[in-house]
Amino acid sequence: MSQCFTLLDAVEVPMRDGVTLVTDIWLPEGAGPWPVVLQRTPYRRDDPVGAQHIAALEFQSAMRRGYVVVVQDTRGRFASGGDFDPFTHEGHDGADTIAWLRAQSFCDGRVAMFGASYVGATQVLAAGQQPEGLVALAPHLTSLSHGDGWMYRGAATELGFLMLWIIEALAPPDLARRIDALDPATADHLRGFLSQATSDPAAAFARLPVLGADLVALAPYAQGWFDATRARSSGEDAIAATSNVDAAPPMLVSGGWNDIFVEGSIALFERARARYARAEDVPDRLILGPWSHGNPGDWQGDLWLGPTASTVDLAAQQIDFFDAVLAGRPADLPLVRYFRSGSNSWHCAADWPLPQTQEQVLHLEGSRLSRQKPAQDWHRSYLSDPLDPVPTTGGATFLPGLRQGRNSGPKDQSRVEAREDVLVFTSAPLEADLDITGLVRVRLKVQSDAPTCDWTARLCKVDDAGTSVGLVDGIYRWDNIKGAQVAQDVTVRLGHISHLVAAGHRLRLQVASSNFPRFDRNPQSTIPAPQATAGDCRTARQTVLGGPFAGSVLILPVIENAG
């Protein structure tokens, strides 16, 4: 059956300060009024990849279900007026847009928001303003916080993401306009940098200092480099406050285990879930697929996850969720739906974290992982050189670019594990299948002769052929306040995962001091990382220790009676 739609193209929507934001409005067939689904994007409102494919919502399907679809260029981006300053204006601009929509004859007064990544941030920031008429959100592949978990993690800057976000997503057209306003010599230099970084991202990552004075025009985008340094000493999220979702409308939060924002997606749902004492009263929903940023397919990294990996129809489920909220009833979706790799299967849960979660502790000893405590003290050391960092190999990243998702997720670790600056600890073959679903952590007893350094860890599974594949990894940037002679405890959050490790396979843990260029290199000196030159980088001796009384352990969230 054919159906006609009406496009109101390039409508100018006024904000409270007089700036106008250019907006496309798609009206379904009929007389209306209708509810509205709104997307506010910095990535060009008429780009079908960003506006529909990555956002996981199909415009025609939404209109057939009786929704007006509205897509807006955010402030300072493409056709919209004003200056773009990441996150700063999204709350008020979102609230103003919702108020304008509710005053239009086609709108029945109810607005839901959808979109992925930064477009998810525009949703939660608008919700923090508590605008009248905002009834539901569907934040996809996004984060609760837009500092920790977006710009940096474990106090280390997400260099790979931040640089590529600037180069691939934000440089056109806003940064180009800013460069045009500079003096000719500076403008030519910056154009050359962007051109080189686009064709050869590794050259941009390898710069020392990473953020030199020659990149001053990047300052509105690169503030996270500086704020990450301040956050380490203050203990605060300096780039942006955590989104205020305590009074937000019901949310369908969706994320991917291999996505750069998976930790933020889970934190967003957990904050929403905490509003209710009982799981059965929670109107919010959580979907966790195997996806990475920009790659919703069945292949993640080196692994094919089977035909079921993409069987969840997010587009339909978003509209189903909106329908339920508008009808004043609970969504006919499980509270939690998640994909488990290894078994390559979808599962439902009545709460999060999963109610049947048990902690399993594996002790590090020599080169082994074991459920038994070590019988005697042990230590292992390596030299960490910031000028020869451990290369990023898979994980929750989109290196070397958004459209290159095959490089994220589970990847062969043989080259990493052959390095002398990577410690490897391996378990005996498992006697039974092991379901690991939840937050993986490592508590290390460490020593270092550097005033500051990074501790990184990666959980792997080793198959029958001896191939080690990374599953989840994390980092912690550590200040050595007690000096080289004192052993200290450090906890590294590797992150959340859901994977069934088959009987006969083994677990493996890597410990190192760099993961570059996903994270910026730590110069292991007193010079802040953003300003460090090659001469500021120093080699450090790193030691991991253990013993029968106080040792180093891997802490796994294990699901009993896994199906």
Residue 276: count of CB within 10 angstroms of its CB: 12
Question: pLDDT of 281-305, one tens digit each?
Answer: 999 999 999 999 878 888 899 999 9
Per the prediction, the chain carries an average pLDDT of: 90
Question: pLDDT of 329-357, one tens digit each?
Answer: 999 999 999 999 999 999 999 999 999 99
pLDDT at 233: 42
Least confident of 149-153, 408-412, 443-447, 480-484: 149-153
Where do the domains of the chain lie, and which CATH numbers do they carry?
Answer: 6-140+244-349 (3.40.50.1820), 155-234 (no CATH), 357-559 (2.60.120.260)
pLDDT at 411: 96
Cβ pair 299, 258 in contact under 8 A: no
pLDDT at 221: 60
Least confident of 55-59, 86-90, 364-368, 409-413: 55-59
Residue 189: count of CB within 10 angstroms of its CB: 16
pLDDT at 335: 98
pLDDT at 484: 85
pLDDT at 518: 94
Contacts for 207 with CB less than 8 Å, ≥ 6 apart: none
Euclidean distance between CA atoms 260 and 276, whole angstroms: 28
Place of tokens 């410690």: 423
pLDDT, average across residues 372-385: 96
pLDDT at 358: 96
Least confident of 77-81, 166-170, 254-258, 295-299: 166-170
Helix 90-102 × helix 118-127 angle, to 10°: 70
pTM: 0.94
Residue 239 has pLDDT above 50, yes or no: no
Euclidean distance between CA atoms 515 and 473, whole angstroms: 9
Return the SS3 of 204. Answer: helix
Question: pLDDT of 485-502, one tens digit each?
Answer: 899 999 999 999 999 999
CA-CA distances (angstroms) from residue 260 to 218, 399, 435, 458?
A: 22, 10, 23, 15
